[in-house]
Amino acid sequence: MPAPERLLPYWTIAVPPLALAVHFLLHSGAGPAAAAVLVAALLGAVLSAVHHAEVVARRVGEPFGAVLLALAVTVIELGLIVSIMFGGQPEPTLLRDTIHATVVLVLHGVAGLCIVVGAIRHREQDFSTRGAQAYLTVLLPMVALTLVLPNFTTSLPGPYYTATQLAFVSVSCLVLWLAFTFVQTVRHREYFLPLPATAAGGAPSPAAVAPARPPGRQSLAALALLLLALAAVVLLAKDVSPYLQSLVAKAGAPAALVGVIVAAIVLMPEGMTAVRAAKKNQLQTSINLALGSGVASIGLTVPAVSLVAWWTHTPVALGVTPGGAVLLGLSFLMAILTYGNGRASLLSGVVHLILLATWLFLIVVP
């Protein structure tokens, strides 16, 4: 008889307090050794936080689980952005770069990889077009308001909003997220539930069987460890940010690469979860995780960072370059084609990954 799955592996229990200990011991340290330990502790805390969020998400069920995971990821992203953007070396474009990177990574990176992995293992996978299109319906105007429209306003020169404009856009993004969350969890919850997968002959696919609901005691322990891990992430982000900025500068890379790294760190554990779901023939869950991260990233992070920027009188550059706007338009056009027929094929996944590679290449070689 196989051993039962351990919902809280020992490393996920040990990492949050260890990460906090690393912060208190090395937050004022210097040198590559201290930086390496801090980065390792940060990554461990991020992975641990998302693991515990997954356990709690399994307890509450879909699609509420995807919403909870998105909230946890947003807290991690907010901690990283604020610590860098308002640190010793301010980065007024970091919010723009991180949101841009998040949108591209979820549309092409995570989604593309999930489609390719799922297609290799299961040929074609089904998903709810209504759920996927609901994500795009909210994500598209959010991206337009935050990353494109600032280039065309006239109150301030350059890619900036005035304080009043930024407040209006922030409230608009928050309202869009709240409306979407209501639709996802109450009004049209069925749009986002995994479709029943079938194996050959029409029988239910064993790979698609939903995992068991965790017991209440373990879920409460996971919730407590989640809060502890998120606290460690926020504190360690402030410690790591100077090393990250210095590393990118020494490499001679564009400052936008910092935003890419922040987005990659934030999306790494959730992306791994999405890929595992695709392997199990649960592409709908993968889409919920990937696109949900993009919606929450803009709908929650933009208002929070804007509030901090208003409080500290710090300018925030949001508008992307003309080339970036063109690639964003192409990204959404490809996403509409991919999520419009309810079946994902290997070809569409490869195209998404090629668009991701193009975007990364043009960051390094503009």
Q: Please give the share of the chain, as a percent, with pLDDT higher than 70.
A: 88
> Is the pTM for the entire model greater than 0.85?
no
- pLDDT-derived band at 164, boundaries 50, 70, 90: very high
Nearest 5 degrees, angle CA 13-CA 17-CA 18? 100
Q: How confident is the model at residue 88 (pLDDT cuts 50, 70, 90)?
A: low
pLDDT at residue number 170: 93
pLDDT average, residue stretch 124-151: 86
Whether residue 23 has pLDDT greater than 70: yes
Residue 204 has a pLDDT of 44
Whole-number mean pLDDT of the chain? 81
47-85, pLDDT tens digit by residue?
888 888 878 877 877 667 767 777 777 788 888 888 777
pLDDT of 139 > 60? The answer is yes
Helices 283-296, 111-122: axis angle to 10 degrees equals: 180
Across the range 200-216, mean pLDDT stands at 53
pLDDT above 50 for 319: yes
Asked if 301 and 99 count as a contact pair (C-beta separation under 8 A), the reply is yes
Compute CA 73 distance to the chain's CA centroid, rounded to the nearest angstrom.
6
Asked which of 105-114, 115-124, 225-234, 321-330 is least confident by mean pLDDT, the reply is: 115-124
Cα 182 to the center of its chain, rounded Å:
20
**What is the chain's alpha carbon radius of gyration, rounded to the nearest angstrom?**
20
Would you say residue 175 has pLDDT above 60?
yes
pLDDT at 9: 82
Count of residues in the chain = 366
